[in-house]
Amino acid sequence: MWTASWTASSPTTGRSRRTSDHEARLRALELGETPRQQRDEARLASLLESGRWPLPALGALTGLAGVVTGVVAR
């Protein structure tokens, strides 16, 4: 014979536990604390760091080319 298993415990206990788990997950997403978000932030930081160093070198080369062009044009 079938018996209701939910009668042994309060149905709101399970619901409130699921709600608190859901709220904890939402909080972690909002704060950026999930492992995936942390990996993405680390990857982005490394890309920005490695992509930033050529800019001063390109600026120096452009300035040097301008000086050479100015000297040759005289």
DSSP state of 6: G
- What pLDDT was estimated at residue 51? 61
Distance CA 74, CA 64 (A): 16
In a domain, 2, yes or no: no
In a domain, 4, yes or no: no
Distance CA 1, CA 7 (A): 15
- What pLDDT was estimated at residue 20? 82
**pTM (two decimals):** 0.36
In a domain, 22, yes or no: yes
Residue 43: domain span: 10-73
- What pLDDT was estimated at residue 66? 94
> Which residues of the chain, if any, have pLDDT below 70?
1-13, 50-53
- What pLDDT was estimated at residue 15? 76
- What pLDDT was estimated at residue 71? 93
DSSP state of 74: -
Number of structural domains (the chain) is 1
- What pLDDT was estimated at residue 2? 52
